[in-house]
Amino acid sequence: MARIEGVLDRNWLTNGGPLVEEFEGEVAAVSGVRHAIATCNGTLALEIAISAAGLAGEVITTPFTFVATAHALRRLGITPVFCDVDPVTHNIDPAQVERLVTPRTTGILGVHLWGRPCAVDELTDIADRHGLRLLFDASHALACSSGGRMIGGFGAAETFSFHATKFVNSFEGGAIVTDDDALAERARLIRNFGFADYDQVRALGTNGKMAEVAAAMGLTSLESRDRFTAVNHQNHAAYRTGLAGVQGIEVVPYDDEELTTRQYVVVEVDETAGLSRDDLQEVLWAENVLARRYFYPGCHRVEPYVTEQDEQRLLMPATDRLAHRLLTLPTGTGVDATDIDVIAGIIERAVELGPLLASALPRRQPAPTPVAPMPSDGQASPE
């Protein structure tokens, strides 16, 4: 509240105010990079990074991510070329990237899903060999490491999201982080309509600025990151203990050698659980536990990609399998050991009752008939 009052007293509400500048300094420091460019959300951070890196044509990316990763490319007229994921890491499978490279490919956009790092060395190698730019959507990976190095410093640039649901939040917000001075300068230009000075427009820009009040929240949230991390680690461990030995349920592990924030507790429900992931979700929702099917059904199965792209190029067996088996469970500071005991108990009971429960559940409505796809020319987007 003191920070917000400061904003109102200064009457400096946006456009490069002192709190945004301070927040950028902190984000750069956490990530171990020279530049952080704060934005109004993580999607704009992606769009600006993609523009600033000069990507065009085709970019190879993962289908198993929040849809904004693919949309950011597509809204800039770039074709996202989906590369299936590694079933263990849940991240883009480097062994499958190279056969997707065409003369139109300009880059690779990896996602550090759940804050677990991509195969950065392999991807860097592939990008170098083919003269491609490498970017990472690090929306889940602030304050996480890969091979002991902080995420934020890999590839040409990485991006964060500070949406209200993320580990650090600024209500809505994001950032581009990079060690590339020229890329940082272009990103700053694009973030502010292309303005280099009061009335000099030097580039096709957009409005990606973060407001001061958002930076106030971002700074305050960032100050609590050690506590958030400690709580998330405790919660993750409590789920592991609570669900140990529950047939067919596995808590997806984090690497103890890396810095992790564990903001996602992801469980994999396999066929031995006796009820499906969807049935388990239904049971949990009925008990007021808002477990989520992140990131079902995968970008390759949603518009506009499912209509626009060749069916053969959308075969993603590993992603499909994960999209049908994973469930993310509640965590963060709003959840404590008692809650986790209760949630683990519900899951254990649901698995015990298994087939009996599955047959007793009211059958779900059949999937709704798909509506006519949106025009895909970038116009008429009723967001």
* Binding-site ranges for ligand PLP (CB under 6 A): 41-43, 65-66, 68-69, 111, 137, 139-140, 161, 163, 174
262 within 8 A of 332, measured Cβ to Cβ:
no
Residue 120's contacts (CB-CB under 8 Å, 6 or more residues apart) are: 110, 136, 146, 147, 154, 155
| Catalytic (active site) residue 166 | yes
What's the min distance (Å) between Cβ of 41 and ligand PLP? 4
d(C-alpha 356, C-alpha 347), whole Å: 14
- Report the residue number, 73 or 132, with the smaller CB distance to ligand PLP: 73
What's the min distance (Å) between Cβ of 326 and ligand PLP? 14
The active-site residue, picked from 140, 166, 186, 188, is 166
d(C-alpha 66, C-alpha 316), whole Å: 16
Q: Where are the alpha helices (DSSP H) in 131-224?
A: 181-191, 212-223
Residue 284 identity: L
d(C-alpha 282, C-alpha 269), whole Å: 14
- Report the residue number, 42 or 242, with the smaller CB distance to ligand PLP: 42
d(C-alpha 239, C-alpha 252), whole Å: 10
**Strands (E) located in 299-379:** 326-329
What's the min distance (Å) between Cβ of 159 and ligand PLP? 8
Which three-class secondary structure state does DSSP give residue 8?
helix
Quote the Cα angle for 82-268-304, to 5°. Answer: 25
What's the min distance (Å) between Cβ of 162 and ligand PLP? 7
Burial 271-289 (b: 16+ CB within 10 A, else e): eebbbebbbbbbbbeeeeb
What's the min distance (Å) between Cβ of 163 and ligand PLP? 4
Burial 317-349 (b: 16+ CB within 10 A, else e): ebbbebbebbbbbbbeeebeeebbeebbebbbe
d(C-alpha 101, C-alpha 108), whole Å: 10
Residue nearest to ligand PLP as judged by C-beta position: 42
What's the min distance (Å) between Cβ of 160 and ligand PLP? 8
The secondary structure element, H or E, covering residue 298 is none
- Report the residue number, 107 or 274, with the smaller CB distance to ligand PLP: 107
What's the min distance (Å) between Cβ of 69 and ligand PLP? 5
- Report the residue number, 37 or 357, with the smaller CB distance to ligand PLP: 37
φ/ψ of 347, rounded to 5, equals -65, -45
Catalytic residues: 166
